[in-house]
Structure 1
Amino acid sequence: MKIRTVIISIAFCVVLSEQKSSPSDDHYWAGVVEFSYKEKETEAPDVNTAKNLERYIELINSTEADTVDIMVFPEYGLNAIETASFVPAPSERIAPCNNYEYESIVRDLSCMAKVRQKYLVVNLVEKALCPENDDWRVCAPDGLYRFNTNVVFDRNGFVIARYRKYNLFGERGINTTLSAESVRFETDFGVTFGTFICFDLMFENPALQLIRDGVTDIIFTTMWFSELPFLSGVQIQQAWAYQNNVNFLASGASHPAIGSTGTGVFAGKHGRIVAVMNYQADVKLYVAQVPKIDKPQATIARQPIIKYNPSEMSSLKLKRDQIDAYETVNLRLESNSDYKLTLCQNQLCCNFTLNYTFTLPTSNQQFYRYRLAVHNGIRTFDGFADGTITTCAIFACAGDRLESCATRFDNPAATADAFQFHSIDLHGVFPSSEDVFLLPNSVDMSIMPLEVDEFVYSERQFVQDSVTYKEIRHTLISPRSDLFSFAIWGRKFVNKDNGADAAVVSAVLVLFAFICSFVVM
């Protein structure tokens, strides 16, 4: 306790000279934390929580954080069910600092926000009294609900926002709210933020509702389980930010051995400012100068790319998408400057035009093959929810058979780059409505997305027979020999009542195709 008091006192001296961002500034300063929590089976939950809190305080007190206006920590980095804390409702205007009605994690973080004069966004396991009225949600025997919650403290330590995760990914002992809450908060530097958590990204509510309500800056806390070929951490973060043209502050739990990593700050159509996918667990604060959306003159200070080679990234565990249900065709093992194909499934047709060079390795080196693919159907997200996916894609395969696709070679160092893609053009027509959300999607062999200046993505709406459609083109314009996937990827939201898709979907009527018949490989 004495040590913590000394640290806070030192921080108070530092903060006096700090310059806060103001509403008139073109930018604000954000910090996102990639965090690997300490957990030992031999230690009690309260001991683990105390250690994690100590590391949080060290990061908040660090010199790297001095310039930061708002600082974000990841999902499930701090505490557990056994150490859940009460959190005051924002409407109560309470600063929990030194208020012993609340557990130490909430008290101490409130104090740190006040001392360091920073907005803090912290994900934690929250507890709350079960309501006395009839409620379908199961109440624990101790009369408490538990929520996976983002808590926002302002510069004076007040709780100004509290978002409880709605779309759970199998969290045991965690409740949800009766409906998805659209949570936002204002700051003294002129930016209004919305926030949601991890699996929420895959659904319409609350994530896309925030965008429709005009929110331009999003805070995303996550313990993401990366999946090839479309849903690795930074890959989907950048794509979501790009399509919605919002500033996106993502803070990821760092556990590569179980597939969790992915932290970054993204400036909408301008792409990443800073981003990382780690191959080993790490604790690090990434600081970025974020251009305000309403300041078009704001400069973009993109930081040098943080990228590890495929051999290093082989220690990052990656799940595999259910692509066996896709309609696919092998790409020919021969150079072709004008390869064209139309491929259809369930009335969705995708048009492919490629210019590529194929060089057969002279030795017995292994090399990735590629498949063109279309899918318009249902998948399960590990059994926790079902969703409808609609996509046009090209992705890598470790062999000739479909089951080898979306997998990596065990020895990446022994892999030759046999394919050089000079250009790829994907084109399709999709329904144009709020029920369909589509985005440009790509990832390379280092499990990082392509930079935004390496592709062109366009959408054009048109009306035919009183129905509105969306014509989408996604084009690779920079040659790549290390491509893993390149796609138009999207979700169709069928059942809006519960935030997840129903099992029955209607097919998309496609009215346009480059080629009217299949080209057989």
Structure 2
Amino acid sequence: IVPPGAHVSAAVLILSVLEACALDSYSAAVYEHNVILSEDTEIPVSPEDAFMLMDKNIDILEAAIKAAAKQGAHIIVTPEDGIYGWIFDIPDPKVDWIPCTDPERFAPSPVQKRLSCLARNNSIYVVANMGDKKPCNSSDPRCPSDGHCQYNTNVVFDSEGKLVARYHKYNLFVTEKQFNYPNEPEFVTFNTSFRYFGIFSCADILFHDPVVVLASRFQVDSILFPTAWGHTLPLLSAVQFHSAWAMGMSVNFLSANTCNSSLAMTGNSLVYFPPAMVHYNTETENGHLLVTELSSHPRLSPTYPAAVNWKLYASSIKQLPSNDHRFSGVVYHDLFSFTELAEPEGNLAICQKDLCCHLNYKMAEKQKDDIYVLGAFDGLHIVEGEYYLQICTLLKCKSTDLKSCGQPVETAQTKSDMFSLSGMFGTNYIFPEVLYSGVHLAPGEFEMLTDGRLISQTRTSRPVLSVTLFGR
């Protein structure tokens, strides 16, 4: 108990002790899981049948957790929707509960008991996603008829099996009809001997709350991200956008995705400074474990990026190149303004509303079947969620027909000698993406200049699919 007037100094003292004890690095793991699904039925199954299904999924997660622990991982993240089934009540972590040793304290809790024991018996932090059921006020119009809300929930158990964090997802995807969202966004963090973490889920990443608050105001060093993310090219594939978000927000990012080819879900990643470790595979349905070493203090790294003025360079351009070949195309339901890169090298601009995008480029032995465009979008995205976007992008078209520009494409033949992309953005939340043929990232081959230019550092090692500044 802290006496009045001593709260701040005591908090500072506690943080100082944690800093002194903290490791300089830690080993992190993420697991892409091919979830065993229930039958598609409107009739609820029995608790016994639901637990039987979840037990099968946890059996698979158990093997991944043990493998990560054997490789020395301090923490492992498993996917959103990775367990499924019967909904349990998850208490506030303040209650100081270890389900492994006290499973009946709040109610029968077989899922939480197994997760807690897996963490405790393998001395590893375990991050998992499950359901949570909470009573609600019947006078609230959002309260279901049975008087309970159900939440998409992340839980974290520490290496002793103790529940240390619980997060209820705030920004539900449009298909998540089975869940409610909390009245207010939750900003969930927890500290460890190896660093300070924040946690959220999937579609949350596209919104300000809670994600920007965690990275900017709470200054977390690492984000834990269970997700069930669809492979949405050309700008929103999992490894592409998640790595771009991590770079834009300058944090370690631990993303664990569901693996399901029928739903086009794949791509888990450990993104950190300066490189990235990612897994992308649409050919198999096997789960995949990634383990790597991360910096505990990315903000203290000499490679930590300087602050960027995202429109400084673009605003210095007084006269735009003439553009007589403007046309429109759709990228993930949004109507972009495009102009073709008709020459192997050049200087182009395209504008939409308040956003003007600028590109200086030189292709290396451009292939005749590869058509590229410079695109701009400044508007409200209204399909599968509503959020405002400002995007500048260099895109390869799916075919030589300009009507195909903006459609998903995974292969290209043309490399780039150089590119420099910038825009007149009205936001500071810009996420830089560079994606190569075969859905490969380009760590170490591009950089963000403090004047807002995304530039290549060398000739690209692979043919280019897209170069993008994705603004929220």
Same fold, judged at TM 0.5 (above):
yes
Q: Is the Cα contact below 8 Å between 2:29 and 2:68 reproduced in 1? A: no
CA distance in 2 between partners of 1:289 and 1:283 (Å): 21
| Aligned match of 1:457 | 448
Aligned-partner residue type, residue 78 of structure 2: F
| Aligned match of 2:250 | 245
- The reply on whether 1:103 has 2:109 as its aligned counterpart is yes
Q: Is the Cα contact below 8 Å between 2:98 and 2:163 reproduced in 1? A: yes
| Aligned match of 2:417 | 422
1:103-130 superposed Cα distances (whole Å, 9 cap, x missing partner)? 2111111122222221111111122222
- The reply on whether 1:335 has 2:344 as its aligned counterpart is yes
Aligned-partner residue type, residue 26 of structure 2: Y
CA distance in 1 between partners of 2:68 and 2:362 (Å): 49
Q: Is the Cα contact below 8 Å between 1:227 and 1:321 reproduced in 2? A: no
Give the alignment of 1:149-164 within 5 angstroms: 149-164=153-168
TM-score (norm 2): 0.82
Q: Using a 3 Å threshold, how does the CA distance of structure 1 residues 258 and 147 change in structure 2: closer, same or farther?
A: same
- The reply on whether 1:88 has 2:88 as its aligned counterpart is no
Q: How far is the alpha carbon of 1:258 from its aligned partner?
A: 1.4
Q: How far is the alpha carbon of 1:294 from its aligned partner?
A: 5.6
1:304-349 superposed Cα distances (whole Å, 9 cap, x missing partner)? xxxxxxxxxxxxxxxx8336611101121x433xx01221110211
Percent identity (aligned) = 28
Secondary structure at 1:55's aligned position in 2? Answer: helix
CA distance in 2 between partners of 1:360 and 1:27 (Å): 44
Q: Using a 3 Å threshold, how does the CA distance of structure 1 residues 254 and 63 change in structure 2: closer, same or farther?
A: closer
| Aligned match of 2:77 | 72
Q: Is the Cα contact below 8 Å between 2:204 and 2:211 reproduced in 1? A: yes
Q: How far is the alpha carbon of 1:249 from its aligned partner?
A: 0.8
CA distance in 1 between partners of 2:124 and 2:387 (Å): 38
- Tell me whether 43-52 or 87-96 shows the greater mean CA deviation: 43-52
Q: How far is the alpha carbon of 1:66 from its aligned partner?
A: 4.7
Q: Using a 3 Å threshold, how does the CA distance of structure 1 residues 218 and 359 change in structure 2: closer, same or farther?
A: closer
Q: How far is the alpha carbon of 1:59 from its aligned partner?
A: 2.1
CA distance in 2 between partners of 1:449 and 1:63 (Å): 24
| Aligned match of 2:405 | 405
Q: Is the Cα contact below 8 Å between 1:246 and 1:293 reproduced in 2? A: no
- Tell me whether 121-130 or 195-204 shows the greater mean CA deviation: 121-130
Q: How far is the alpha carbon of 1:153 from its aligned partner?
A: 0.8
CA distance in 2 between partners of 1:90 and 1:354 (Å): 53
| Aligned match of 2:30 | 32
| Aligned match of 1:380 | 382
Q: Is the Cα contact below 8 Å between 1:152 and 1:160 reproduced in 2? A: yes
Q: Is the Cα contact below 8 Å between 1:59 and 1:65 reproduced in 2? A: no
1:422-478 superposed Cα distances (whole Å, 9 cap, x missing partner)? 11111222235xxx4112112122113221x21121234xxxxxxxxxxx2111233
CA distance in 1 between partners of 2:193 and 2:33 (Å): 27
Q: Using a 3 Å threshold, how does the CA distance of structure 1 residues 323 and 41 change in structure 2: closer, same or farther?
A: closer
Q: 2:203 aligns with which of 195, 199, 202?
A: 199
| Aligned match of 1:325 | 335
Q: How far is the alpha carbon of 1:41 from its aligned partner?
A: 2.8
1:393-431 superposed Cα distances (whole Å, 9 cap, x missing partner)? 11011234444123356xx8xx772x3321111122223
Q: How far is the alpha carbon of 1:64 from its aligned partner?
A: 5.5
1:77-101 superposed Cα distances (whole Å, 9 cap, x missing partner)? 1023xx1111121111111224221
| Aligned match of 1:185 | 190
Gaps of 5+ in 2: 1-19, 305-329
CA distance in 1 between partners of 2:278 and 2:166 (Å): 26
CA distance in 2 between partners of 1:87 and 1:247 (Å): 27
Aligned-partner residue type, residue 486 of structure 1: V
Aligned-partner residue type, residue 326 of structure 1: F
| Aligned match of 1:315 | none
Q: Name the count of aligned residue pairs.
A: 415
CA distance in 2 between partners of 1:485 and 1:171 (Å): 30
Q: How far is the alpha carbon of 1:380 from its aligned partner?
A: 2.3
| Aligned match of 1:114 | 120
Secondary structure at 1:325's aligned position in 2? Answer: strand
The root-mean-square deviation of aligned C-alpha atoms, in Å, is 2.6
CA distance in 2 between partners of 1:127 and 1:37 (Å): 22
Q: 1:350 aligns with which of 354, 357, 363?
A: 357
Secondary structure at 2:65's aligned position in 1? Answer: helix
CA distance in 2 between partners of 1:198 and 1:185 (Å): 19
Q: Using a 3 Å threshold, how does the CA distance of structure 1 residues 225 and 209 change in structure 2: closer, same or farther?
A: same
Aligned-partner residue type, residue 457 of structure 1: M
Q: Using a 3 Å threshold, how does the CA distance of structure 1 residues 359 and 96 change in structure 2: closer, same or farther?
A: closer
CA distance in 2 between partners of 1:295 and 1:25 (Å): 14
Q: How far is the alpha carbon of 1:40 from its aligned partner?
A: 5.4
| Aligned match of 1:292 | 296
Q: How far is the alpha carbon of 1:33 from its aligned partner?
A: 0.6
Q: Is the Cα contact below 8 Å between 1:241 and 1:266 reproduced in 2? A: yes
Q: Is the Cα contact below 8 Å between 1:65 and 1:287 reproduced in 2? A: no
Q: Is the Cα contact below 8 Å between 1:422 and 1:477 reproduced in 2? A: no
- The reply on whether 1:283 has 2:292 as its aligned counterpart is no
Q: Using a 3 Å threshold, how does the CA distance of structure 1 residues 65 and 253 change in structure 2: closer, same or farther?
A: farther
Gaps of 5+ in 1: 1-21, 301-319, 362-366, 461-471, 492-521
| Aligned match of 2:317 | none
Q: Using a 3 Å threshold, how does the CA distance of structure 1 residues 298 and 292 change in structure 2: closer, same or farther?
A: farther
Q: How far is the alpha carbon of 1:140 from its aligned partner?
A: 4.4
| Aligned match of 1:502 | none
Q: Is the Cα contact below 8 Å between 2:69 and 2:122 reproduced in 1? A: no
Q: Is the Cα contact below 8 Å between 2:252 and 2:298 reproduced in 1? A: no
Q: 1:235 aligns with which of 228, 236, 240?
A: 240
Aligned-partner residue type, residue 183 of structure 1: V
Q: How far is the alpha carbon of 1:299 from its aligned partner?
A: 11
CA distance in 2 between partners of 1:355 and 1:261 (Å): 32
Q: Using a 3 Å threshold, how does the CA distance of structure 1 residues 136 and 188 change in structure 2: closer, same or farther?
A: farther
Aligned-partner residue type, residue 254 of structure 2: L
Q: Using a 3 Å threshold, how does the CA distance of structure 1 residues 354 and 416 change in structure 2: closer, same or farther?
A: closer
Secondary structure at 2:459's aligned position in 1? Answer: coil
CA distance in 2 between partners of 1:287 and 1:88 (Å): 30
| Aligned match of 1:438 | 430
Q: Is the Cα contact below 8 Å between 1:322 and 1:379 reproduced in 2? A: no
CA distance in 2 between partners of 1:178 and 1:323 (Å): 29
CA distance in 1 between partners of 2:286 and 2:249 (Å): 29
| Aligned match of 2:468 | 487
Q: Using a 3 Å threshold, how does the CA distance of structure 1 residues 282 and 357 change in structure 2: closer, same or farther?
A: same
CA distance in 2 between partners of 1:297 and 1:353 (Å): 31
Q: Is the Cα contact below 8 Å between 2:248 and 2:429 reproduced in 1? A: no
1:37-90 superposed Cα distances (whole Å, 9 cap, x missing partner)? 12353995333212001112222233764511111111001023xx11111211
